[in-house]
Each structure stands twice: as structure tokens, then as C-alpha cells.
Amino acid sequence: MSDENGGQANSVKHARQEGAEPGGSSLFRMFLQERDRLRRIAAGMGMAGADIDDVLQDVSVKVLKQPDQFEHEGAMAGWLIRTTVNRCLTE
């Protein structure tokens, strides 16, 4: 079972191990800003507590692996929502 902040902490630790600075990624910053919205989306798709945390942790890992090549914030938000929905559908 994961706790709410454990997934985020693990993602930051993973990024630092690979030499990336998560705070420097605009996509990662957008993920942090949109985390509550993504949580509501996952809950609306029928996910509960620990499952939502697992989904958000998986999305955060994808964020860290995704090249930061979005033209604007709307594209980043759309990618985050789409990735979250897809992850919920596979759960």
C-alpha cells in the first residue's frame, strides 16, 4: 500500500538518481500543480484510496521519463490527463 506523498517522494528520488532535477522540468511542475485535479479524475473513474495513489505514482514516473517538449501548458495538462485516464483504464 502506498501513502499519498510516498509516490511523489519516490519519483523525486528516482529523478535525482538519474541525474535529473525534477524541479527544473516544467512538466513535473505542472504535474505537481495538477495533482489534485488528476486525483479527482481518477476518483471519478471509480478508483479508490490506495489505487489512486498507485495511479498517480505511475503517472509521475512517466512524467520523469517524458521529454519536456510541449509547446504550451495546455498541451502538458492534456498529456497529464490523458496519461492518468489511460492508467486508470488499465487498472
Domain boundary assignment for the chain = 6-90
Percent of the chain with pLDDT over 70: 74
Q: What is the pLDDT of residue 2?
A: 46
Handedness of CA 8, 27, 84, 90 (dihedral sign): negative
Q: What is the pLDDT of residues 11-25, one digit of tens each?
A: 545 444 444 444 458
pTM: 0.72
Q: What is the pLDDT of residues 50-89, one digit of tens each?
A: 999 999 999 999 999 988 788 888 899 999 999 999 999 9
pLDDT, the chain, mean: 81
Q: What is the pLDDT of residue 24?
A: 55
Percent composition of the chain: helix, strand, coil (DSSP 3-state, to 5): 75, 0, 25
Between CA 59 and CA 5 the distance in angstroms is 14
Centroid of chain to Cα 9: 12
**Residue 66's closest CA among 40, 30, 17?**
30
